[in-house]
Amino acid sequence: MKSPFQPQTNLAIMAEYAASHQQENDRFAAYIKEYNDEEIDAKVQELDALISPTISCTDCGNCCKSLMVCLNEGEADRLSGHLNMKREDFDLTYLEKGSNGLMIMNRMPCPFLANNKCSVYEYRFEGCKEFPALHMPHFKRRIFTTFMHYDRCPIIFNVVEALKEEMHFTKDQ
């Protein structure tokens, strides 16, 4: 009987692998460009559906610890209302605003992470809900950002490594 999939979730091992396999990952990013969008998306979504359930986000929480989260006005309004804070106070406490109107949380880890869980789960932002975005179409267009997060997110790491196998990609020795 085939043994159950054992995902790699050790962030230190992932980081070491990413650093020592930069060229392999660059080759892989170029390799998948030869395939059409639909074919890659179907494979990634299938692997994501298989692998995500084997990884506990509440044990990990690394995206909430290591990403600057973007939010929009509506999201800031909703969360400040939930926290009973004036928008002005919420903005001063939690946000950094760019000249282009972009708003990001002003610190990492996210201040709403408590015991590795989101304390404002119902009010979390679209970016939080989407990450790591492997269920979404146009994986090829996001390959740069996917590799930016490859050693940060065990779901991405394991899906990418499984995708290499699935696509018969020749890894470095």
Nearer to ligand SF4, 85 or 113 (CB): 113
* DSSP annotation string for 63-119: HHHH---EE-HHHHHHHHHHTT--HHHHHHHHEEE-TTS-EEESSSS-TTEETTEET
Taking the complex as a whole, the smallest distance from the CB of residue 129 to ligand SF4 amounts, in Å, to 8
**CA dihedral of 163, 167, 168, 172, whole degrees rounded to 10:** -50
Taking the complex as a whole, the smallest distance from the CB of residue 11 to ligand SF4 amounts, in Å, to 9
Taking the complex as a whole, the smallest distance from the CB of residue 3 to ligand SF4 amounts, in Å, to 21
Nearer to ligand SF4, 64 or 103 (CB): 64
For residue 163, give Cα distances in angstroms to 18, 38, 168, 170: 15, 14, 8, 12
Interface contacts to ligand SF4, rule CB under 6 A: 55, 57, 60-64, 69, 110, 112-113, 118, 120, 124-125, 128, 131-132, 152-155
Nearer to ligand SF4, 14 or 40 (CB): 14
Nearer to ligand SF4, 55 or 160 (CB): 55
